[in-house]
Amino acid sequence: MTDERVARAALSRLTEPGDPRVAGVVEEVGAVRLHDDVVALRGERELDRDAQVRVARLDPERELEEAAAQGIRFVIPGDAEWPRQLDPLSHVEELQQMSGRPLGLWVKGPLRVDELDGAVAVVGSRASTTYGEDVARELAAGLARDGRCVVSGAAFGIDQAAHRGALALDGPSVAVLACGVDRAYPAAHRELLARLGSVGAVVAEVPLGCAPMRMRFLARNRLIAGLAQGTVLVEAAVRSGALNTASWTTRLSRPLMGVPGPVTSAQSQGVHHLVRSGAAALVTTSADVLEVVGAVGEHLQEEPREPDRPRDRLTRRHRQVLEAVPVHRPADVAAIARTAGIGLLAARTALAHLAKGGFVVDTEEGWRLGPAALGVPQPDPFPA
Amino acid sequence: MTDERVARAALSRLTEPGDPRVAGVVEEVGAVRLHDDVVALRGERELDRDAQVRVARLDPERELEEAAAQGIRFVIPGDAEWPRQLDPLSHVEELQQMSGRPLGLWVKGPLRVDELDGAVAVVGSRASTTYGEDVARELAAGLARDGRCVVSGAAFGIDQAAHRGALALDGPSVAVLACGVDRAYPAAHRELLARLGSVGAVVAEVPLGCAPMRMRFLARNRLIAGLAQGTVLVEAAVRSGALNTASWTTRLSRPLMGVPGPVTSAQSQGVHHLVRSGAAALVTTSADVLEVVGAVGEHLQEEPREPDRPRDRLTRRHRQVLEAVPVHRPADVAAIARTAGIGLLAARTALAHLAKGGFVVDTEEGWRLGPAALGVPQPDPFPA
């Protein structure tokens, strides 16, 4: 009887990733039985017609050996290193009908893919703007600072910026590819992929040597969403491929987040649409992301605000008088009282209080605004 | 007995706008009685101490005459022109405790303030960015195109851009000021205010000649929110005054909307915070705004998307084969079948179908990508 790992390696060569028929049969009868069936009864199932060409060249044992020689392992369900966060792909009925769990993951790199708890996917347009790349890099760096793994697709644009942001802080990062992990796609990212393979992980569902194809990108996107606890969409035009990763995140019932941008930027339009429709939460910093994906209460942020100013603790009356003191010239108490619309005595009392706090100064020409009113930092005159 | 309008004009001179004590007493005993009481019993109520200086110079009949001579009217509750959307300020208990309905509105300009149904407030930072001003102008123009009145505060930055956007399309626009409507504040907006006063309306709660003061701005903000059906915040730093208008909108239970911007812009930080917290809906265009404020179903937008491409209607199998055709050189059917991972016969059938659609071309050297696959617009080869 065929070994489970060998059967899965063979099936990953024989079939296209994300094919729900394959995943469904594997869940039902097991990979070994499907494998033996395909090899023995070629031509009798619809599935087999696609596979005939591949079956002829099949040698899974040798593929596994050659991969191992290149430091590449094939992680399958049941392995200690299997990332269980992918299991809903087969165990949730709606997801099973659309795709299913991968047969296995070809992994290159020291990072164990079962230790990505709390990983965050940061994805977006290939045709990104400088703004988007800057934000992706900053976000990823912030996540790395929190010890979070950054998952992305190593594509041009947002993806590469996210990986680089994490790597810059020596943070863990995983690239999920639509081609074999021994290939560099895009070729311009050969060095980036080599770096990820030496300090993080490069992962693919398709075996070594496979070329990236459109459908493989779609299947790959479900793994980016599936490996992460939540997905941040940094930039996406209305029809960006990154929206596919966003959909998978939602189907997986995991938090989807979007970074806003100028409404005049086509690259932010898809993100704004998701936020507007309520599908994505708006995030602007890694702290926002951690608040969304973190354990409840773990990363609750304080509302952003500037520190209290002594001015805020003035009474209504005192503020009324302070506002009546002219900015450019001194004024006497009668003029100030008139402008403030209050009596002389009340104005005089208020001015005395304001003078204590440095808000006004009594000069020979009359009352002037003091340093505290002009924004000069002061020791707090009225401690709370 | 004093005339209601005269009493309210007098009280508007005697008191500060937005003072809940004044509004409360007026709702309880009436403006005439409060007026007579203040004038007769000066010095006996706390309120009166503030008012003594003003009472001495009081001449409401003359003020009303002088205003009329300048084409300025004083609109009070009960008038046909009274904008009833301000009534919740006195009739909702929480709002009554904070401020109350204005005693009246000093109005300059041909636009009737009872005819602002569906008006939208567009507000934001004075320290705006070029981006913010562009967006405010565009939004206001879009609202004007829909016949909506644009309400704002005539301040530097977002406010002026909103007014100008509406005026550019000859749309109705209302400026609500913190000073008398006979004054130009800021002075640089003298012409803008003159224009609004001649084709739209300039409105204030404080009488003619009054200077703008901090507290009057806060009271003014509640009127901007109160006159509009909803408020759009275009840019606001974390501590922008525009957030005060936003708070009034929320207190009035009217829709608050925010325009996103670069997360790197301090001027968008306050807006992003409101969207993130759920206080404001994200809007990017006037169509978004109309969808939020419009009658239910009146402005429901289609989801933005590009038109269907013929490629999207290819089957999985056809796309699989199309992806396997090399971009830079021709390939024979065997190579294509091998890359696609399907049988020769199936590949040949698919290529024939693709050729009909212009996706591939059969040349002497082999199969090449056709014009449809290369993005050249084609008559739809496979009508739906």
Q: pLDDT digits over B218-257, tens only?
A: 999 999 999 999 999 999 999 888 999 999 999 999 999 9
Residue B9 lies in a domain: no
A224 and A273, same structural domain? Answer: yes
Instruction: Give which of B258, B262, B256 is closest to B282, Cα–Cα.
Output: B258
Q: Do B275 and A288 touch (CB under 8 A)?
A: no
Gap between the Cα atoms of B82 and B65, Å rounded:
20
Helix (H/G/I), strand (E/B), else coil: B310: helix
Q: B308 to chain A: nearest residue by CA? A: A239
Which stretches within chain A are classed as H helix?
Answer: 4-14, 20-29, 31-40, 46-56, 60-69, 88-91, 93-98, 130-145, 158-168, 190-199, 214-227, 242-251, 266-276, 286-293, 316-324, 333-340, 344-356
A199 in Cβ contact with A179 (< 8 Å)? no
B324 and B204, same structural domain? Answer: no
Residue pLDDT, tens place only, B116-165: 979 999 999 999 999 999 999 999 999 999 999 999 999 999 999 999 99
B214 contacts chain A (CB < 8 A): yes
Q: Do A283 and B276 touch (CB under 8 A)?
A: yes
B269: distance to nearest CA of chain A, Å?
9
User: Residue B356's domain is classified under what CATH number?
Assistant: 1.10.10.10
Helix (H/G/I), strand (E/B), else coil: B159: helix
Helix (H/G/I), strand (E/B), else coil: B202: strand
B244: distance to nearest CA of chain A, Å?
14
The ipTM is 0.71
- Which pLDDT band holds residue B175 (cuts at 50, 70, 90)? very high
Residue A50 lies in a domain: no
Of the candidates A238, A282, A304, which has its C-beta nearest B306's C-beta? A238
Range A250-275 burial, b when 16+ CB lie within 10 A, else e: ebbebbbbbbbbbbebbbbbbbbbbb
Question: In total, how many domains does chain B have?
Answer: 2
Neighbours of A79 (CB within 10 A): 16
Boundary residue ending a domain (B293, B318, B341): B293
Mean pLDDT over all residues of chain B? 88
Residue B37 lies in a domain: no
Q: A262 to chain B: nearest residue by CA? A: B261
Q: What residues 265-304 of chain B have any CB closer than 8 A to a CB of chain A?
A: 268-269, 272-273, 275-277, 281-285, 288, 303-304
Q: Do B341 and A53 touch (CB under 8 A)?
A: yes
A239 contacts chain B (CB < 8 A): yes
A40 contacts chain B (CB < 8 A): no
Helix (H/G/I), strand (E/B), else coil: A105: strand
B211 in Cβ contact with B99 (< 8 Å)? no
Task: Determine the structural domain holding residue B325 and report its residue range.
Answer: 310-369
A356 and A269, same structural domain? Answer: no
User: Residue B239's domain is classified under what CATH number?
Assistant: 3.40.50.450
B314 and B289, same structural domain? Answer: no
**pLDDT attached to residue B174:** 98
Boundary residue ending a domain (B250, B267, B293): B293
How far apart, in Å, are the Cα atoms of A342 and each of A281, B147, B264?
A: 49, 44, 45
Question: Is the C-alpha dihedral spanning A43, A46, A52, A54 positive or negative?
Answer: negative
Name the CA radius of gyration of chain B, rounded.
31
How far apart, in Å, are the Cα atoms of B271 and each of B94, B103, B121?
A: 25, 32, 15
Q: Do A260 and B272 touch (CB under 8 A)?
A: yes
Q: Do A288 and B276 touch (CB under 8 A)?
A: yes
A111: distance to nearest CA of chain B, Å?
31
B21 contacts chain A (CB < 8 A): no
A371 contacts chain B (CB < 8 A): no
Q: A52 to chain B: nearest residue by CA? A: B343
Q: Rounded to two decimals, what is the model's pTM? A: 0.75
B351 and B254, same structural domain? Answer: no
Mean pLDDT, rounded, for A348-374: 85
Is residue A45 predicted with pLDDT exceeding 60? no
A110 and A234, same structural domain? Answer: yes
A182 and A247, same structural domain? Answer: yes
| Cis geometry, peptide bond prior to residue A260 (ω within 30 degrees of 0) | no
Q: Do B272 and A284 touch (CB under 8 A)?
A: yes
**pLDDT attached to residue B1:** 63
Residue A167 lies in a domain: yes
